[in-house]
Amino acid sequence: MGVMELIGPLEQALHAARALVLADLVAGEVAEADVVSLVEDSVAERRWWVEQWPDGATFVAGLIAQDVQDALLDRYGRWPLCPVCRTGDPHALDVEPELGPDPHWVCHKVGVKVAAVGSLGSATGGMSSS
C-alpha cells in the first residue's frame, strides 16, 4: 500500500517545521519547557491534518508557527514582537501566507517581510529585553 513511503516525507516535514518554530522561540527567548510542549501539541495535531492531506506537507511550518503564536497569546502575550516598529504599541508579527509554502513573519503595519519562519534570530539579532 505504500504507507511507509508516505510517512517518511510527512514526518520529515513535521520535523523540519518543529525545528523552525523552535528556532524562532529560542530567538525570542521564550523556549521554555511548557512552551516547547505547545509546539509538540501543535505538531501532533498537524500530523493528523497532514496525514489527511499529504499535499499540505509544505504548509505545516506556517501552520505550526500560527498555532504556537495563538497558544502563546493566551499564556504569555504577543509573540513574536515586531522588531521593525520601535514606536507605538508593541504588536506581533503575522505569518504569511497563512496556508502556503515558504512562510514568513510579516509586519502588517508597515507591510514588510521580517524573516522566514525559522530565521527570526538572524533578523532581530536576538531580542534583548533591557
Report in angstroms how near the CB of residue 129 gets to Zn ion at its nearest.
Answer: 17
112 interacts with Zn ion by CB under 5 A:
no
Residues numbered 28 to 67 that lie near Zn ion (CB under 5 A) are none
Report in angstroms how near the CB of residue 93 gets to Zn ion at its nearest.
Answer: 7
What are the distances in angstroms from CA 110 to CA 61, 87, 97, 98, 105?
Answer: 24, 12, 16, 18, 12
Question: Residue 8, class by beta-carbon neighbours within 10 Å (0-12 exposed, 13-18 middle, 19+ buried)?
Answer: exposed
CA distance 127 to 109: 19
| Closer CB to Zn ion, 15 or 108, in the complex | 108
84 interacts with Zn ion by CB under 5 A:
yes
81 interacts with Zn ion by CB under 5 A:
no
Binding residues vs Zn ion (CB under 5 A): 82, 84-85, 107, 109
